[in-house]
Structure 1
Amino acid sequence: MSGPPKNAGMSGRPQGIRAARAAVPVAVCRLVRHELRAFASLGRWVGHRTHGVRPGDLAAAYTGPQTAMLYGLLFVMVVETVGLALLIPWPVVHLVFLVLDLYGVVLVTALHAACVTRPHVVRPDGSLRIRYGALFDLVVPQDAIASVRVDRRYPEGRLITLSDDGVLDLIVGSQTSVTVELNRPLTFTRPFGASETARTIRFHADDPRALVGALRQPA
């Protein structure tokens, strides 16, 4: 009597992986991926290392407007954790809340670490990489940039806001400070996977003049 083919288990394994991927929503997969990248950024932050910055690149930080707010949020979360530890008398419930609160503290710290270790990058060839932590990453080729200028604005909206006329605002701390006009539409990907196009990009840099100067004078 012949047994099952030797490669039956191996052929079934990829099918099982594909079925599992199909069963999990894309948004959930991307959310998990973002969190894993954020947690990996904690090690880079402690080691004073950056992601995607090569010799000759200009790294442009953008966390200035949000740093105080995030540290304030962390302080509130720690106080809440201590308060609940004193108020909740049931050990199991106390343990659940403690784990959730500690996870929240670590996650917020990791999100900030991802922003610190993943700055905007100006390449020597004049291209620009615009980022926000592990949530947003867009490379703008040099030949797609029509003009760039320091332009401080205080738009309303969420982190990524796209207007009907194709203006993309990447808002940090309720502000942007650099405007890039494009000579052709560029496609970008939202954190949960949706693709859209922009004709103008506005984003924040802590030192916008240095970033704009580097883009205007590529090596």
Structure 2
Amino acid sequence: MKTLADFGFDGRAVLDHLVATSPWGSIDQAIASLAAFPHRDVVAAVRGRAVFRTVRGRRGEIVGGVMEDDNASPAEAFEFATGFRRGPGTDVQCCHLYAASKDPDAYTDLRNIFMIPQCLAKRTDSQAAVLPSLHALHVLRYRAFELYGYRGPGGTTEPGRPDGYDALRWAEPVGAGTEAGGLESRWRMRHARRRRDRITKSVALCGWTFSDYRPDPAVVYEGA
């Protein structure tokens, strides 16, 4: 029976071993099978751009027409738009393909967001401007390019196709059949029920994709 010492006290080596002996066979295939991307229909329904005017920072603060928030706004953008549901304690994490914490045009852009089990999330996380050649984000970024033509925030260069990419079997994207009118209507009803919510605040005071990023007078915020 192997112990942590047998892996050089390296948790990543443990995960690699567990995945290699599983039906997935490799970290890249586990990521391809277990990462959830939004369907093209969902991306089109929110106009292929950021849903909210938010960035990472002090929750609820508004600076220059953009609300600072935690990870709640990208998570809501993904979950509500796609119908994806994370129950309490399910250990599924909302992640970004490209570092976007201070970029309101990318922070809630569904093309830049995916969901993945937390046990794999650390393998896909990076704030680096340039990734190591074997980083797991390469396959995820290429998948986003394949699905949406996405090249990253303001990007113009097509990402390189990673070695072994063509052999990966990807999970189907979530939210097929989503239509803009129905999605906007459901979201507005949600805001009407949650008048003290921070996301409602951002929509009412900073705008969102459905108001062309102008404050939305039809959404009422009643918080402090």
How high is the TM-score relative to the length of structure 1? 0.26
How high is the TM-score relative to the length of structure 2? 0.26
Task: Decide which structure has the larger Cα Rg and report it.
Answer: 1
Q: Which one scores higher on RCO, CA 8 angstroms, separation ≥ 6?
A: 2
Kindly indicate which of the two structures has a greater share of residues assigned to strand.
1
Kindly indicate which of the two structures has a greater share of residues assigned to helix.
1
